[in-house]
């Protein structure tokens, strides 16, 4: 197994939540492995909120950020994002950074009318957008959330979603919002630019790990 050495200043923890099949695992796989699986295994992790509040609270423990994900082609998943956010606010550290992520934008991109050997390409998987960007953006603003639209399939904005959230957390650390001595779970390198070994992407754990 080959390992890569990277330098780091902080280790931050994020939770990815949202309705089933909105693409939580796919976003993580895209971020860590730069690939897309058409049929990833459903992860029991955060597709359903644990019925016992203490379990949900433990999932949120020592996390500095949350990605609340919905599917831009499903109004229902957007409406349910309110519930996910309410739960995060109830159980998580009040300083937790939240980013609202509208995933699957590739499904509602403009129709491709190109022909292949005289046959018009059909887009059986294409779907209508049910959540206008402006509506989600406005709600994010009202709730003081960061906001971004992504496609785990094409990779659009996936890195950016995590980067935006991480930047916000780092800014809070620098402002003293997360005090490491109070065990907020932020891990700082003893000396700047400590090296860390990254093992093979195959070892990547998915949601809730
Ligand atoms: N077109 C398209 N499909 C996506 C995208 N992201 C995920 N999918 C598909 O949506 C389905 C569900 O994706 P998952 O990543 O398993 O979703 P999840 O939120 O982790 O689902 P659970 O683990 O069941 O909660 C899969 O068939 C993915 O291939 C995307 O950005 N675009
Ligand atoms: Mg999953």
pLDDT tens-digit series, residues 140-195: 999 999 999 999 999 999 999 999 999 999 898 888 887 655 546 666 766 555 45
Mutate to test the pocket of ligand 1, among 21, 126, 128, 148 (most ligand atoms within 8 A of CB): 21
Determine whether domain 12-110+127-191 maps to CATH 3.40.50.300: yes
Give the single-character DSSP code of 149: E
In Å, how far are 53, 80, 103 from 77, measured between CA atoms?
A: 21, 5, 11
Confidence of residue 116 (pLDDT cuts 50, 70, 90): very low
The answer to whether the CB of 99 falls within 8 A of the CB of 164 is yes
The secondary element (H helix, E strand) that includes residue 59 is helix 53-60
- pTM, to two decimals: 0.82
The answer to whether the CB of 87 falls within 8 A of the CB of 59 is no
- Ligand 1 first shell, C-beta below 6 A: 20-26, 37-40, 42-43, 47, 103-104, 106-107, 151-153
CA distance 77 to 24: 12
Considering every ligand atom shown, identify the ligand nearest to the alpha carbon of residue 29 and give its number. 1
Which tops the pLDDT comparison, 47 or 7? 7
Give the single-character DSSP code of 128: -
Mean pLDDT of the chain: 80
């Amino acid at each position: 197994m080959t390992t890569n050495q990277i330098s780091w200043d902080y280790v931050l923890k994020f939770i990815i939540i949202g309705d089933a099949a909105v693409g939580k695992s796919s976003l993580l796989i895209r971020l860590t492995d730069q690939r897309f699986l058409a049929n990833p295994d459903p992860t029991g992790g955060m597709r359903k909120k644990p019925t016992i509040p203490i379990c949900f609270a433990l999932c949120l423990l020592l996390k500095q950020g949350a990605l609340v994900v919905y599917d831009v082609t499903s109004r229902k998943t957007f409406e349910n994002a309110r519930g996910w956010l309410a739960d995060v606010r109830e159980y998580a550290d009040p300083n937790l950074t939240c980013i609202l992520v509208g995933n699957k934008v590739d499904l509602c991109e403009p129709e491709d009318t190109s022909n292949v050997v005289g046959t018009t390409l059909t887009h059986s998987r294409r779907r209508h957008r049910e959540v206008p960007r402006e509506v989600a953006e406005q709600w994010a603003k009202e709730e003081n959330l960061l906001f971004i639209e992504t496609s785990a399939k094409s990779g659009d904005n996936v890195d950016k979603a995590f980067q935006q959230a991480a930047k916000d957390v780092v800014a809070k650390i620098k402002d003293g919002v997360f005090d490491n001595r109070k065990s907020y779970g932020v891990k700082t390198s003893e000396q700047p630019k400590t090296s860390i070994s990254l093992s093979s992407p195959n070892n990547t754990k998915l949601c809730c790990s």
